[in-house]
Amino acid sequence: MILIFGGAYQGKLAYAMDRFKLTESDIFRLDKWILELIEADKNVEEAVRKFIEEKPDAVVICDDISCGVVPVDPMMRKWREAVGRTLAKLSSESSEVIRLFCGIATRIK
């Protein structure tokens, strides 16, 4: 698995498409998926475990939503926490972890 994360509008999608020669539909958008799971009251940890098992070669992008003011809305706080925990889990499982900031990629792992 390849994990690419960074702030919103930093160029993650374009970087993944260019570097790995993928189309937009080939790339998994983690933060949006986790929000959908939470809104549907699904078990995020179980879904992530299943995703790791079924898609070990996925290229995953995720907006880093851990910075800034903690949301007042309980669902948004739950989403923020779930994204953070999932990023930690996927980072340990990924063969490569890349942070994108201002369009510049930094390989972390």
Q: What is the pLDDT of residues 36-59, one digit of tens each?
A: 999 999 999 999 999 999 999 999
Alpha helices (H) in 1-109, listed in sequence order: 12-20, 30-39, 44-54, 74-93
Count the domains in the chain. Answer: 1
pTM listed for this prediction: 0.92
Q: What is the CATH number of the domain that holds 43?
A: 3.40.50.300
CB 71 within 8 A of CB 80: yes
CB 63 within 8 A of CB 100: no
pLDDT at position 92 is 95
Q: What is the pLDDT of residues 77-91, one digit of tens each?
A: 999 999 999 999 999
Tell me the mean pLDDT in the region 66-84. Answer: 89
CB 60 within 8 A of CB 4: yes
Of the pLDDT bands very low, low, confident and very high (cuts 50, 70, 90), residue 68 is confident
Percent of the chain with pLDDT over 90: 92
Structural domain that includes position 18 = 2-107
